[in-house]
Amino acid sequence: MWSDLAPVGRDGQSGGYRRFAWSDADHELREWFADQAARRWLDLTEDRVGNQWAWWGDPDAAVAAGRPGIVTGSHLDSVPDGGAFDGPLGIVSAFAALDLLRANDIAPNRPIGIANFVDEEGARFGVALAGSRLLTGIMAPERTHALTDDDGTTWADAFAATGRDGAAIGADPETVRRIGTYLELHVEQGKALAHLDAPVAIGTDIWPHGRWRIDLPGEANHAGTTTMADRHDAMLTLAGVVQAARTAALTRGCVATIGKVRLTPGGVNAIPSHATAWLDARGADPDAVRSVVADLAALAATTGGEVTEESWTPVTPFTPALVSRLHEVLGGLPLLGTGAGHDAGVLAQAGIPSAMLFVRNPTGVSHSPAEWADQADCLAGVTALATALTDLSQEA
């Protein structure tokens, strides 16, 4: 399975992946997921948002009987020039864990589902976790008409261009009811497990985090004839905001990143008349994160700029009873919080018992081609996931 996925959406120059929602690469990945489900005689369904579900057992009959399914999985999309493991490791491991259960003649008492959530990274349209947020109703369907890619295509239009019904986009309570428990395996996006000398950990919570758009005005003018004193350069203002973001984050114990910038008019010989940048800020303390954003908003306002919130996710604890159960069943694996957002966090916010497993990343690097996990650690993750699914699916 890993070899099949390796070339899909890979950039020949950077070696990273560009697997964006509703792109050709995304279509190929979805076909791969459908093929893996068919090979295992799983029932494949798609919800109103386009998330894919492969079921072993009848989830609707289980809901009627009061024992909804156990779901695992992750996502297949990537950030620009992302690594191979972020997302796909969770889905490949889910199929492999299901294979292991069958090889061991495990007969689950509850159906087991494997999920592929669409647009988890938000790389094309700017809002992360769109598939799970739309599914659960945390994000309004009307917002899909406001989210655009760099070419001006909206999320809804890209969805409809694949032949799906754009009018159907929205929360899908029927699908949500099928999920009794969600357990997501993911590559670690840091080096904690390398320091702990452990291949796998259990996730405990997700830090509060958000994304903000920063708009800064300037005045277009000729790069060769305008004196430095006469310039109103939006890029210069942005440079100050970038520096301020780092200072504010260090002061308040958070992390802040401005990783995407758009300049108008965008010419080499033209002074920018407008700068738009996107801020990603996270931290263990939500008040500290909000203070970082407030500092930048105050700075932007001094030049007529503004900061607009595009998404915010409060601290998300995974279900304590489920975490404790996994800790016992999996032999006391380390417990680990994370600053990265995941679909498991969205489902937890929606009231679905949820937890995560993290597989060691010896490089500590993520969202980059340098992202890595050793095969032995990946197999340890599969074993841990299979053990957890066996325990959870045996409930009467």
Category of 106 on φ-ψ map: left (φ > 0), alpha (ψ -120 to 50) or beta = beta
Q: What is the pLDDT of residues 227-246, one digit of tens each?
A: 999 999 999 999 999 999 99
Q: What is the pLDDT of residues 207-219, one digit of tens each?
A: 898 999 999 999 9
Paired with 260 in beta bridges are 278
C-alpha dist (Å) from residue 185 to 2, 358, 359, 379: 15, 6, 7, 12
- Pairing type for strands 354-359 and 200-206 reads antiparallel
Contact 56, 42 (CB under 8 A): yes
Contact 284, 305 (CB under 8 A): no
The residue whose two tokens read 């032999």 is 331
pLDDT bucket at 167, cuts 50 / 70 / 90? very high
- Letter for the amino acid at 61? A
Q: What is the pLDDT of residues 135-146, one digit of tens each?
A: 999 999 999 999
Share of the chain above pLDDT 70, in %: 100
Structure tokens at 228: 């430095």
pTM equals: 0.84
Q: What is the pLDDT of residues 274-294, one digit of tens each?
A: 999 999 999 989 999 999 999
Beta strand extents in the chain (DSSP E only): 43-46, 52-56, 69-75, 112-117, 179-187, 200-206, 209-217, 221-222, 255-264, 270-271, 274-282, 306-313, 316-317, 335-338, 354-359
Cβ-based neighbours of 138, under 8 Å, separated by 6 or more? 132, 346, 349, 350
